[in-house]
Amino acid sequence: MITLLSGGTGTPKLLRGVRCHTTDQQINVVVNTAEDVWISGGHLSPDIDTVMYLFAGTLNTETWWGIAGDTFLTHKALLDLGTDEYIAIGDRDRAVQIARGELLTNGKSLTEATTILCRNMGIKAGVLPMTDSPVATMVRSSGEYIHFQEYWVRCRGSIPIDAVKRVPESPPPATEDVIKAISEADAVIIGPSNPVTSILPILECKGVREALREQYVLAVSPFIGLAPFSGPAGELMKAKGFPPSSLGTWELYRDFLDLFVQDKRDTVTVPGAARLDTMMTSEEKSRDLAKGLFGLMEMHYG
């Protein structure tokens, strides 16, 4: 069994490759939920949705969110009615969010709701929300904290930010399923997801770092030089007080990490790191990176 910690872009790209080397039944994915929001009556869990759609074979892999070929009729109609739906939600994507919202409103936990949705989508891998407690990533801009989605989607990441926090501030408990998936795995891979908004929220869940310290853990850097491959990871690292680089990423994980993997072109040096081609610009490149990581694991286990 292999367990990955994931956000909604970098690690799903790697998962696409991991699936070429093992069966879905052998994969568990612990997924960030700190970007979840209720919107237009549905429950949006962007990272869980991306991972579920990937396994279901329906993901839009041009954008790495939403369902391929989805339509936006309801979104357009809602805007015409004057609602403030600042995230463009596709029609079939919305059906998932409504179904999840119903399950949660009727007393299911997020883990239970995700299990039901996965079963109904024919997904064989384990898709595990990091916690069943609501938690949100907030960023500070001009002295005021706003939800990460407001910053990244509504404001398109164009406003300056100088601090990041989780609300509530006391760490939520990881679910039992998450701790089990980490503890019972042959290895854990932290994919090249955004350290501050995707991976740290998982690491902050009670019990996760302790479980990782007992495991063989590899992490792949989402940075080359002083810039991420994509997205706001650099700004968020700076707002959190860490260098926006592989070195900063490694510092966040080093207390439990066994092997850090950087891109072969990265100009920043991390002591003891392995080097691979981590630019997953195609399915083939995702597969090659996954193969390289499995090779490193085999070397470790002899």
Site for ligand GDP, rule CB under 6 A: 6-11, 13, 47, 192-194, 197-198, 220, 222, 228-231, 233, 278-280
Q: How far is the CB of 199 from ligand GDP (least distance, A)?
A: 7
Q: How far is the CB of 82 from ligand GDP (least distance, A)?
A: 29
Q: How far is the CB of 131 from ligand GDP (least distance, A)?
A: 16
3-class secondary structure per residue, 261-285 = EEECCCCCCCCCCEEECCCCCCHHH
CA dist., res. 54 & res. 48, Å (int): 10
Contact predicate 181/2, CB 8 Å: no
Residue 151, Cβ neighbours under 10 Å: how many? 25
Nearer to ligand GDP, 25 or 230 (CB): 230
Nearer to ligand GDP, 28 or 81 (CB): 28
Contact predicate 260/192, CB 8 Å: no
Nearer to ligand GDP, 79 or 297 (CB): 297
Q: How far is the CB of 263 from ligand GDP (least distance, A)?
A: 6
CA dist., res. 153 & res. 291, Å (int): 34
Q: How far is the CB of 302 from ligand GDP (least distance, A)?
A: 27
Residue 266 token pair: 């990265």
Nearer to ligand GDP, 115 or 278 (CB): 278
DSSP three-state, residue 172: coil
Nearer to ligand GDP, 183 or 294 (CB): 294
